[in-house]
Chain A
Amino acid sequence: MSTAQAQVQTKWWGGGKSPFNLEYGKVMMWYFLMSDAFTFGAFLISYGTIRFSQNYWPDPNKVFNAFPLMGHANLPLAFVSLMTFILIVSSVTMVLAVHAGHNMDKKGVVKWMAWTIVGGIAFLACQAWEWTHLITGEHAVLIDGKIQEIGTTVSRNPWGSEILGLEHGEHHVTKTGPVAFGGYFFGITGFHGFHVFSGVIINIIMLLMATNDVFERKGHYLMIEKAGLYWHFVDLVWVFVFLCFYLI
């Protein structure tokens, strides 16, 4: 065995075969993800430069402290942790789907893909709730000498610094915060959400193809692996988004 191999010495880059031992579609997916990483990178770097050019930036622990059905309980970052947890679990189920694909286990693929899709949809639902909460959750802000109640949008931000001694009902009145906050928050989480959405669509297509035995006929589940690469990437990007918007 070893002698046979020494004779047929393999030159990976010599042509006639793929030097990466990967099917070309997977190689391509990797390049695409690199490219996409630059898109997100550009967004996050823009966000960083603008954020650090401001005198004041809202405290995420105050902005993101709500939880569905919990009323006004102060639960900083609890909901986003749940969202992150859901997305990470969906990555795990994706790994299991890919693994089942390796074993040509159609049932397993279908089961785990279905769970991955559920995870993706749950994440999107959470995001929809969070966006709605931010946009409709109004806060008392002093604008042009008048106290107004405004929500967080791409052009308005109620999360400025507190004005000492000024109360409205039982809440503190604040100044307006930097508008860049809403712009970048909705812009970047929206762009990420769009990626999750596309991922869910891709996963649904994969699921349908699996139930229709397309992969059984092909003799491999490579497509699931490619969808998996994309899904993990979207997850990884979320980790950075999470870091930049919620933790720092």
Chain B
Amino acid sequence: MSTEILHGHAEVVSEAHGEHHEGHHHEESFISKYVFSMDHKMIARQFLITGIIWAIIGGLFSVLFRLQLGYPDMSLPFLEDIFGRWAQGGRITPEFYYALVTMHGTILVFFVLTAGLSGTFANLLIPLQVGARDMASPFLNMLSYWFFFLASVIMFASLFIQTGPAAGGWTIYPPLSALGQASDGSKLGMDFWLISMAMFIVSSLLGGLNYITTILNMRTRGMSMTRLPLTIWAIFFTAVLGVLSFPVLLSGAILLLFDRNLGTSFYLSDIVVKGEILPNEGGSAILFQHLFWFLGHPEVYIILLPAMGMVSEVLSVNSRKPIFGYLAMVGSLFAIAILAFLVWAHHMFVTGLNPFLGAFFVLLTLLIAIPSAIKVFNWLTTLWRGNIRFTPAMLFAIGFVSLFISGGLTGIFLGNSTLDIHLHDTYFVVAHFHIVMGVASFFGMFAGVYHWFPKLYSRYLNNTMAYIHFWITLAGAYLIFWPMHYEGLAGMPRRYVDYSSWESFKMFADLNRFISTVAMIVFAAQLMFVFNFFYSIFKGRRLRTENPWGSNTLEWTTPIHPGHGNWPGEIPEVHRWPYDYGKDGREFIPQTEPIGKDESAHH
């Protein structure tokens, strides 16, 4: 009896929801359609385009500091024309260099690969792939974008402050970041950084709550959890990681703001700056590192998991084969999500962590290799003997697997605390995380953009440019980051503006110049992608069929131009898992097709 009542209640709730969205088909004003939109698809586009703009800015910064690293004795007058005293004499000043590196990291980690990636694809794919008319709360979803926008505005504004933006590295360790007198980059720019990140955390929280709730509560009839596409599983774990780890960064940032502005001593103790003895005592700089990396490590998986999910989907669709080991894929995502919370101190092996404690973090860190290896194995076996279609999305997905293997292997080196004594804060770490997180996640994102562009804009991206984009980016990524491993093994530390006066690293001058040159070429290739993106929105080849890739998932059952509410009639019912490719002699069987009478059992 009681279950019946409860059941009725649930029905009422989901029905009330359906009604709410059906009412949206009438004419909308420009503002409510394009600006303060509550349609998840429009919000996805907003996140994507904001992310692209940020990626151009962040990428440009890397070109500038690579210029400095490749040509330490250059003198380019035009730099001074543009940046004034930041590039006095046509050279990038140390302050400018640190500001560039810091902003590059902050922008790409948070604004592009977190908000741009999750924001875009969680918004686009969750309702479409679970079969819902929109997010659980379209209003909070809209707020999530606008908080991100606000964070963006603040961060962008910080670039124009007289003393410059934050410049203590993307990890903003105190005491440097806590003391305005310590450097220009620790003055007003640092406050802007912290406030912007606080807004960013609100945005990611609002988004994450929506993603989790929508995935758990709003799946269409028949869409059991084990029939969810792996994209959705990946986004689900991403959102859980975000909801539980970002608040800890918020605490850390608030305490840092207090140290900066109210004279507290949370992170400060016994400090002398420029001969002046500061009154602060009793704080701990290590405390900040714990708070930061408790977010920081989950954060790297927040960046990676959505890419993994999309790659799984794209690989399976374009191999025309079921994903190998669906449950193992879900299980390994779960294992990664749990372990992500238990390894943060591997970033602190040499910053005063008790070596005994370090041993446990070594163990837990190395355990991550197991679920990672399971995933790699399953991707490769999905490809194995597949009927592969090398679409641009597929190439990027394969590229992702390659990069993930390369970067994951170097992680195992770093995870050993003894080896890390040598490798910490060298270019080896830079190479490791750029390959495994930076470039790999970008590849996942590109795979997603090329694959779902037809759903986003009802047109295709240009293929020729796409292939050029892929090969330059793949070759470039390895050419840039592979040599950095050698530099790091040789002990070359990161975060120095000039290595030429350093006897041990002089020999890398040519190598650095080579890396910088490739970096510029790769950046140009990304601009070509951006051109392709915007050109194709308006002029691309039109989408003429609902299901261009012969895909099983629900988003391809919507009309070519889906309205707000996604499906014109009833929401489709789901009868099978999403990976019935090449089954019983049929190329693909959409999830909406009921199981046939004499169909063979799946797997």
Q: Which residues of A are interface residues toward B (Cβ below 8 A)? A: 1, 5, 10-11, 13-21, 23-25, 27-28, 31-32, 34-36, 38-43, 46, 49-50, 53-54, 154-155, 178-180, 182-184, 187, 191
- Distance of A34 Cα from B250 Cα, bound (Å): 14
Beta-carbon contact of A35 and B221 below 8 Å: no
- Of B65-73, B164-172, B262-270, B581-589, the segment with at least 4 beta carbons within 8 Å of chain A is B262-270
Q: 16 A–B contact pairs at CB < 8 A?
A: A5-B3, A15-B131, A17-B11, A18-B14, A20-B216, A27-B136, A31-B212, A42-B294, A53-B284, A54-B282, A155-B263, A179-B282, A182-B264, A183-B258, A183-B266, A187-B254
Is B277 among interface residues, defined by CB-CB distance under 8 A? no
CB < 8 Å A-B pair total: 150
Number of B residues, CB within 8 Å of A: 61
- Distance of A114 Cα from B369 Cα, bound (Å): 56
- Distance of A27 Cα from B205 Cα, bound (Å): 14
Is B287 among interface residues, defined by CB-CB distance under 8 A? yes
Cβ 8 A contact of B9, one of A21, A25, A32: A21
Known pairs A5-B3, A187-B264; A31 contacts B251 (CB<8 A): no
Beta-carbon contact of A1 and B243 below 8 Å: no
Is B35 among interface residues, defined by CB-CB distance under 8 A? no
A155 neighbours in B (Cβ, 8 Å): 262-265, 279-280
Is B219 among interface residues, defined by CB-CB distance under 8 A? yes
A15 neighbours in B (Cβ, 8 Å): 130-131, 219-224, 227, 574
Residue of B140, B219, B220, B225 with most chain A CB atoms under a 10 A cut-off: B219
Is B210 among interface residues, defined by CB-CB distance under 8 A? yes
Beta-carbon contact of B10 and A18 below 8 Å: yes
Closest to B240 in A: A31
Is B4 among interface residues, defined by CB-CB distance under 8 A? yes
- Distance of A175 Cα from B538 Cα, bound (Å): 73
Beta-carbon contact of A39 and B220 below 8 Å: no
Beta-carbon contact of B264 and A154 below 8 Å: yes
- Distance of A5 Cα from B2 Cα, bound (Å): 11
Known pairs A15-B223, A32-B209, A38-B244; A1 contacts B1 (CB<8 A): yes
- Distance of A42 Cα from B341 Cα, bound (Å): 14
Q: Which of B1-38 contact A (CB under 8 A)?
A: 1, 3-4, 6-7, 9-11, 13-14, 17
Cβ 8 A contact of A183, one of B137, B208, B265: B265
Known pairs A18-B14, A50-B284; A38 contacts B264 (CB<8 A): no
- Other CB < 8 Å A-B pairs besides A35-B209, A39-B247, 17 of them? A5-B3, A5-B4, A13-B224, A13-B225, A15-B131, A16-B222, A16-B573, A21-B6, A23-B13, A28-B140, A28-B213, A38-B244, A42-B294, A155-B263, A179-B281, A183-B258, A187-B266
Closest to B223 in A: A15
Beta-carbon contact of A38 and B222 below 8 Å: no
Known pairs A180-B266, A191-B254; A17 contacts B7 (CB<8 A): yes
A25 neighbours in B (Cβ, 8 Å): 136-137
Beta-carbon contact of B282 and A178 below 8 Å: yes
Beta-carbon contact of B264 and A28 below 8 Å: no
Q: Closest CB of chain B to A221's CB: distance in Å?
A: 14
Known pairs A50-B283, A155-B263; A38 contacts B217 (CB<8 A): no
Cβ 8 A contact of B213, one of A14, A24, A191: A24
B244 neighbours in A (Cβ, 8 Å): 34-35, 38
Cβ 8 A contact of B287, one of A14, A21, A31, A50: A50
Q: Closest CB of chain B to A33's CB: distance in Å?
A: 10
- Distance of A40 Cα from B136 Cα, bound (Å): 27
Beta-carbon contact of B224 and A179 below 8 Å: no
Is B405 among interface residues, defined by CB-CB distance under 8 A? no
